[in-house]
Every structure is written in structure tokens, then in C-alpha cells.
Structure 1
Amino acid sequence: MLTDDTITDPPPTTDPDLRRFVEQSTSMTGFATYDLYGTGMAQLYLDTARHQVGGAARFKAFLDAWQQSSDGDGTAALTPVDREIARAVTYLWYTGAWPRLAPAAHAALRREMPNTEFVASASSYPEGLVWRAFAGHPAGAKPPGFGTWAEEPPELPTEEEIREELLAVAVEDPSVETAAKATTYAATAFAADLPGDGVPAHLLPGVRLSRGMTPSAVPAAAPQPGTRTEEASE
């Protein structure tokens, strides 16, 4: 018989940091812990992230910083390196691949491996959250079933429905801290309008000019020191 504890508790593990990693990933991905555990990739992603940033101690420091930013001023309080790690972890959950880091972050972390994008495992691709985000399925894996092509796909949720769902997760999910609820799931976080000239081109809706390049080539979350170029006077 299934109980509430059956579906809310994580799978058995000897890694004491796994639960915290998944809990912190809810605010990075927008998915509940139930969904993240359901991918079966949590331990693999934790191990991957630890290895890529230089070990368990450095990744724990990132989780500490992320939790403080969730309780305070948001991602603006993160250092450029921690912001880049957050981008990479989110990318990992959504695509199943670890992205190429910004060169400055790669250097600051003193990474002793090639700074290239790679897929975490053969199973991580079909478990990417990107497929769930638009109610699709990965090409070549997890087919929806015979004849389903004839059915209309579900309509995308409205902003109000997304807001209500996130607020419901914040109330029902015991892993979400009270302070994090106030910042990550607050209704005001979804009501503010962004200035059109202040949104990077690769984040705007519509046809994406960068579709022909690898995702890791899209500008990173933070500008890198010393990389700003001045326009030629001629």
C-alpha cells in the first residue's frame, strides 16, 4: 500500500548530500523533488557536478551559496563562478548533459579536464526535464504509443496556472524551506515585466538565430572580466 511517505521520501542512499542537492535543485529547475527523484538521475548528476567543479567540498560551498541567495537577494548575490555552476547544474537537469563553462569560470575552478560539453550517460538524454517542460518526448526514446500522433497535444499552461502550481508545490513539499517559498515561489516573481531592451537575444521568444550552434556557445549567465570589446572607431 502506498502512503504519502512512499512518494515523498527519496530512494535509499548512502550519500548524505543527495537530499540537499535535490532540494536545492527545485528552485533551479522549477520542478518538485518528486519529479527530480523520478528521473533516476539524481545521484549521477550530483557525482557529475562534484567532479566537474573540483570535488565535494567545492560543490557543497556552491550549495551553501545557492541556499543563501534563495533566502536573500536572489542570484544577484552569487559570485560569477557560482552563477555559472548554477547554470551548468540546471542545464544538466534539463538536457542530461554538462555544458561547456565560461572560460573565466573554468579557469577559476582550476579544472583539470577539457572544457567541453558531454552527455552524463546514455540514460540521461531521455530523462531530461526539457521533454516534460513542453509535454513532449525524446526523439528515439520513450515513444508515446501507437496512434498518439493523432491526438492533439495538451495546451500549454497559462502564467496563472504555472503560478498556482508552483505555489502548491511550495505549500505541499516539506523539503522547500519557508524562506525559499517567499522568494522562489512568490506571485510577484511572475508578475514583473522585463524591459524589451534588457533581455538577452537568446532568451527572447521566436526563431532563435543561435539554433545552429551548440547550446554551450550561447552567452553565459555572467559577463567575463576583461572580455568586453570596444567598437572600432572607423
Structure 2
Amino acid sequence: MSNDMDNFVGLSAVLTGFSQEVLAPDLDPVDIKSEYLPVFTANVTKESGDPSLVAGIFQKYAMLQSQTLTPQQIGEAMLDPANGEAFVLACRKLIFMWYAGAWPTIAPASATAQASTVSDLISAKAYTASLVWQVMQSHPMGDSNYRYGYWNKPPVPLSDYTGQ
């Protein structure tokens, strides 16, 4: 993995609560991380108007990672409002992307409508690989690796899915 990819996966693990081994396993036929990194980079750059924001996010993560901090402390530091609105929003959108397989757009409030979030699905692969299914211990309609009758048994602990 490239340095950007290492930082992307590490940051994603810290922010989502999933282990790096779940997000980017050694044997990775889905390889969703390689689809998500360019989406993250392009959208953050376009929305913020700052071509250095993604590099700044990865640099801050790498700096925090080099210290003796827990993943929770790193996550809290990355989401600290002192980092700036665009920085924190990019991190929050990264979380959304991993869980939903979509990129969120925030529609501001107007005189006639409340603020809302809409999202654009990244791909069919992103939809089926999104983390929400693992958190729910379920699967998307029409796509399952489970054997028929799996619902007859209690689900495995959530930690088996998250790696944490």
C-alpha cells in the first residue's frame, strides 16, 4: 500500500471503529479501499476548494499515530473542531462513506426547508461492501455470503465483524 493508502486505511479504522484488518485484509478480492480513496480525495478537494486538505488530514493522522495515543484519542483529535470546519467535515464524510457506500452532500437550510443530507451511491460494490451491513449483522438484499437458514442461529458477536 502507498503511504496515502496506509494513512487512509489507518484513519478510516480509527474513525469507523473497525480494525484495519477488516477494512483492508491481506487477501482482499473486493478492495473497496482502492475505490474509496480517490472518491474521498476528489470530493474533499472539490468541496473544500483546498487541494492540500487531504494531505493535511493524512499528515495530522500520521503525526498522531506516531505518538503513544489510543485509537479513540486519535479519533477525538481528528474530529476536534479546532482543526477547522472543512477538516472535520471531511473526516465525518469519510465515516459516512465507509458505512453507507455513498458520498454525502449537505443541503443547507432555506426559508422553506430544513437542512438535509443527501447522498450519491459510489457503486454497487460500495453498497454491498458498506459497513452498515456488518454492524447490523445482516446483508444487502440480493447479496449474501450466508448459507440458507443462517437466521436460525444467534448472530456471532459484533466484535467478530469489526475486528475490535
Mark yes or no: TM-score above 0.5: yes
C-alpha distance 59-18 of structure 1, shift in aligned 2 (>3 A):
same
Q: Does 1:94 align with 2:103?
A: no
CA distance in 2, matches of 1:153, 1:58: 40
Query: Which residue of the partner structure matches residue 50 of structure 1?
Result: 41
Contact map agreement 2:107 2:118 (CA 8 A) in 1: no
Contact map agreement 2:14 2:74 (CA 8 A) in 1: no
Within-5 A mapping of 1:32-47: 32-38=19-25, 40-47=31-38
Which consecutive unaligned segments of at least 5 residues does structure 1 have? 1-9, 104-114, 167-234
SS of equivalent residue, structure 1 residue 124 = helix
Contact map agreement 1:88 1:101 (CA 8 A) in 2: no
CA distance in 2, matches of 1:142, 1:51: 31
TM-score (norm 1): 0.50
Structure 1 or 2: more strand by fraction: 2
C-alpha distance 145-73 of structure 1, shift in aligned 2 (>3 A):
closer
C-alpha distance 92-147 of structure 1, shift in aligned 2 (>3 A):
same
CA distance in 1, matches of 2:76, 2:96: 22
- Larger of the two Rg values belongs to structure: 1
From 74, 82, 88, give the equivalent of 2:87: 82
- Post-superposition, which runs of at least 4 consecutive aligned residues in structure 1 deviate over 6 A? none
Contact map agreement 1:96 1:121 (CA 8 A) in 2: yes
Q: How far off is 1:57 after superposition?
A: 3.1
Q: Does 1:127 align with 2:129?
A: yes
Q: How far off is 1:34 after superposition?
A: 1.0
Structure 1 or 2: more helix by fraction: 2
Q: How far off is 1:125 after superposition?
A: 0.7
C-alpha distance 23-102 of structure 1, shift in aligned 2 (>3 A):
farther
SS of equivalent residue, structure 2 residue 24 = helix
Identity %: 26
Within-5 A mapping of 1:164-203: 166=164
Give per-residue Cα distances to partners, 1:58-86, cap 9 Å, x unaligned: 31122234556755972223212211111
SS of equivalent residue, structure 1 residue 117 = strand
Q: Which amino acid aligns with 1:17?
A: D
Q: Which amino acid aligns with 1:132?
A: Q
- RMSD between superposed Cα atoms in Å: 3.0
Q: How far off is 1:37 after superposition?
A: 1.0
Q: Which amino acid aligns with 2:130?
A: G
TM-score (norm 2): 0.68
Contact map agreement 2:4 2:58 (CA 8 A) in 1: no
